Chain A
Amino acid sequence: MTRSGRVWLSVFFWAFVVYLFVPLLLMILMGFKDSKFIGFPIKSWTLDWYLGVFDDGTVLSSFVYSLIIAVCSTVVSVVMGTWLAVLLSGRKFAGRFAVYALTILPALVPGIISAIAFRVYARQLGIEPGGFAIMWSHAVHNVPFVALVVMARLSTLPRSLGEAARDLGADPFVTFTRVTLPYLMPAIIGASIFCLLLSFDDFVRSFFLGSYDPTLPVLIFAKLRSGMSPEINAISTVVLILTAVLGVWAERSSRRMNREH
């Protein structure tokens, strides 16, 4: 490629990075503005909106509510996703493609449709809208992501490890818990954090399967419908920073563990 072509390409790349970050940085900036009115110019600065978040009981309680839902749904997704990955990476069997297709199905269903399907299914099963219904829909939705990540890691597992364990007299259960599972740990940790973030940030399922207690994204949505305010900026900024820190940490730690293996 010509020199000028390469320069244009790098300019385009960095313009894209700016496009990704500028809206978020503006949002953070507005949270420090000393006026209820969102927009420029900013004349003076304040921390009041952040302090207000801690005073507002509904924000803290919906934060905790989202976190509990995220942790519970992650446990279910990780167990089922790993189990499906092990099944699909093992010996060939009739109907394997059908099992694979069904495993990734929830990732391909558009958000609103999956929310509606779960709403209908929950009603049929007698599950009331609320925390459990939200947790359940998140758990199902996140299984494909775990399965794909774990399958990728399983494809690099040296066959000799399992054979050696069997030669040394380990039964399949011991082989799995002492050889396969430790090998999968980096992928499982990475997938867990990813599930936590997906569940914590999910809006459409939480909105359609929730009752009166809102999760944090649903609370922000409700507040936004009644108008923009710097308080929302403060809440969103806290969420943004927590998410970014957790994401970067997960990515780095799973890469580090990948290198060690």
Chain B
Amino acid sequence: MTNNAVDAGARRSAAAGDAADRRPFWGRLVNWAPYQALVALLFASPRRQFVLLAVLPVIWIVTQHLGPMLQMLQVSLLDAYPIAPGQENHYTLANYARFFSESVFMMPFLRTITYSAVLTVVTMLITYPVAYYLARHVKRDHQLALLLLLLIPFWTGEIVRTYAIMILLGNNGAINLALKTLGLIDRPIPFMYTGFSVSVGLIYLTALYMLLPLYSALEKLPRNLSEAGADLGAGAWTRFRRITLPLTLEGIGSGCTLVFLISTGYYGTPVLLGGPNTTVFAETIAGFFHVAGDQWPTGAAFAVIMFFAALVLTGVFARFISALRKGDSK
């Protein structure tokens, strides 16, 4: 904490004191007997104070953050849902078995995992130089302005940005027009409704989740390490490989984890940009909820399978990254 900030804090609390004198509300409240009795009751001991602070948020996260996931898990194990009146719950693994027994589900599943993994790597390769330039070659004052510029497209929602990509890649879109004007093609290239258009759309949506962790990792990296490397005679590539890359592995790890997890969950974008041959698992899962109600357990089971697979893969990836970091520190 700098002196400046402490001074500012002190000034602020002094100002707060003045305000209390001018506005007698707080003074009156604090001296009001019922309020004092209440405070004595609530904050009698540090322990009681802590319980008071903890009880509501803990109830919230257990019922609201964990609750929906557990409920989905429970429904995925039911043989029928909703349960008929007067009936007991019957638990079964049949919904999970369905995934492995019917091969039509495997393709969308594998496609989603492959798309997300490839996109994560591509996004990382694209955004690393961008983050590097921003963190290392731009003046401090300009960094924030440029970061703000980069944030603007990301504040826009999934559907609006997907639509923008549709206009870019359409048969009469900007890219086809440019290629035609340059005389490279006679008839438009059908970019839309392919794996390519889905990929471009998903990279466009997720790039920021990669860019920000990379930027903060690169920004924290002390510059003199690289200079020391140069003094010891290391070339630019060696310095990057031996110094910059190992020290930003953590940023790479968190960026990749975020992008991978998030990109498996898009539904609107693959529906709008994809075709019949690019069905992703999100569309498969959604299908069970659009038809009759008795398909809900299967849909829930498939959602659980996807979440579990995504978690296992990111776990493996995290182990890989930490093994790399250990290997480098030796």
Residue positions of A touching B, CB distance < 8 A: 1-2, 5-6, 9-10, 12-13, 16-17, 19-24, 26-27, 30, 37-41, 80, 83-84, 86-87, 90-91, 93, 99, 102-103, 105-106, 108-121, 123-124, 140, 143, 156, 158, 160-161, 164-165, 169-174, 178-179, 182-183, 197, 200-204, 207-208, 217, 220-221, 224-225, 228, 232-233, 236, 239-240, 243-244, 246-248, 251-252, 255, 260-261
A9 contacts B159, CB within 8 Å?
Answer: no
Report the separation of the CA atoms of residues A2 and B104 in the bound assembly, to the nearest whole angstrom.
53
Q: Are B148 and A86 in contact (CB under 8 A)?
A: no
Would B157 and A202 count as touching, CB distance under 8 A?
yes
Inter-chain contact A23/B12, CB cutoff 8 Å: no
Determine if B171 and A23 form an interchain contact, defined as CB atoms under 8 angstroms apart: no
The one of B13, B57, B130, B167 that contacts A80, using a Cβ cutoff of 8 Å? B57
Bound complex: CA of A121 vs CA of B127, how far in Å? Answer: 38
Bound Cα distance from A19 to B267, whole angstroms: 23
Interchain nearest-CB distance for A29 vs B (Å): 9
Query: Please, how many angstroms separate the alpha-carbon atoms of A208 and B166 in the complex?
Result: 23
The 6 closest A-B pairs by CB, nearest first: A110-B265, A39-B172, A201-B157, A23-B164, A111-B265, A117-B68
| Min distance, Cβ A181 to any Cβ of chain B, angstroms | 11
- Provide the bound-state CA to CA distance between A116 and B170, in Å: 31
A-B pairs with beta carbons under 8 Å apart, 9 shown: A84-B60, A87-B53, A112-B285, A116-B72, A124-B71, A236-B164, A243-B155, A251-B148, A261-B9
Chain A residue nearest to B265 in the complex (CB) = A110
Chain B residues with Cβ below 8 Å from A171 are 30, 39, 43
B57 touches A87 (CB 8 A): yes
B103 interfacial contact with A, CB 8 Å: no
Q: How far is the CA of A261 from the CA of B268 in the complex (A)?
A: 42
Residues in chain A near residue B75, CB distance under 8 A: 120, 124
Q: How far is the CA of A203 from the CA of B236 in the complex (A)?
A: 44
Assuming the A-B contacts A112-B265, A140-B65, A251-B148, are A239 and B60 also in contact, with contact meaning beta carbons closer than 8 angstroms in the complex?
no
Q: Which of B259-287 contact A (CB under 8 A)?
A: 261-262, 264-268, 271-272, 282, 285-286
Query: Chain A residue with minimal CB distance to B262?
Result: A110
- Closest CB of chain B to A254's CB: distance in Å? 12
Say whether B289 contacts A2, CB under 8 Å: no
Which residue of B has the minimal Cβ distance to A108? B261
- B157 near A243 with CB under 8 A, answer yes
The answer to whether A173 and B39 touch (CB under 8 A), given A109-B69, A201-B157, is yes
B53 pairs with A6, CB closer than 8 A: no
Query: What 0/1 pattern do residues 108 to 140 of B give for CB contact below 8 A with A?
Result: 000000000000000000110110111001000
Residue of A with least CB distance to B75: A120
Interface residues of B in 44-81 (CB under 8 A from A): 46, 49-50, 53-54, 56-58, 60-62, 64-69, 71-72, 75
**B247: Cβ under 8 A from any A Cβ:** no
Cβ-defined partner of A119 (8 Å) among B5, B264, B289: B289
What residue in chain B is nearest A12 (Cβ atoms)?
A: B129
